[in-house]
Amino acid sequence: MNLRETLVRYSLFFVKSSRRYRALKPFIKSSWYETDLNQYLASFIKSSLNINDKKSLQQNFCLRMSSDRHRDPLRIPEPYRDTRYTLALYKYDELLVEERKYEYLACIGFDTDVLKDYIVVRQIQGNPGKGETLRLFKWERILLTILTDWAKKSGFNQIRVIEAKDQNWYRIHRAKQMFMHYDVTARRSGFAFNQSIGQYIKILT
């Protein structure tokens, strides 16, 4: 590799690292993630829903970006974190922003840093007390799809998902449920299993 190629490579690395840093900053500061959630909900709604169930989906949902390194100033209900970065799904009422009551529904958590060109999803978890709402849509795939889209536009080249058996809280009595959350969700989202690293991988192009 000649000097010019080396400089170009380092320049691209610096640009992408800066882009990742800017993308991760909102997690560290705790921020709302602005995206069209209705588009994702519509794509992953359960086909078996009746009319009343579909009416229940006409609620207000939002996403919160946060990190284990920073306390959320809003002090809203938060998931237990297994990772450094977390994207959580909430439902809220129609009151003013300062007075809204937020209900935590589910989260997806991942680890990375600006020097890596990939993120690793290590947590896909629903709130056990919110099953009545979560059963209305394929929330695991919604969160993984949203995070995949975020990673792609944030300068990461790939996203990885661990196997259920490698999750810190894996238990035999929950094996089937966790297998659905991690392995099945990854497979149905277009991830391929990589034997050498033991994780599901999706290349972001």
Contacts of 112 (CB under 8 A, 6+ apart): 20, 24, 84, 85, 118, 119, 120, 156
Q: How far apart are CA 127 and CA 76, in angstroms?
A: 14
Helices and strands (DSSP H and E) totals, the chain: 7, 8
User: Looking up tokens 């972001």, which residue turns up?
Assistant: 204
Residue 156 confidence (pLDDT) above 90: yes
Pairing mode, if any, of strands 118-126 and 158-162? Answer: parallel
- As a whole number, the mean pLDDT across the chain is 88
The DSSP 8-state label assigned to residue 83 in this structure reads S
CA 107-167-29 angle, 5° bins: 40
Q: What is the pLDDT of residues 6-37, one digit of tens each?
A: 544 545 556 678 899 999 999 999 999 999 99
Q: Is the pLDDT reported for residue 126 higher than 50? A: yes
> Which of these ranges, 63-77, 93-107, 179-193, has the smallest mean pLDDT?
93-107
The string of pLDDT tens digits covering residues 88-125 is: 999 988 765 566 789 999 999 999 988 889 999 999 99
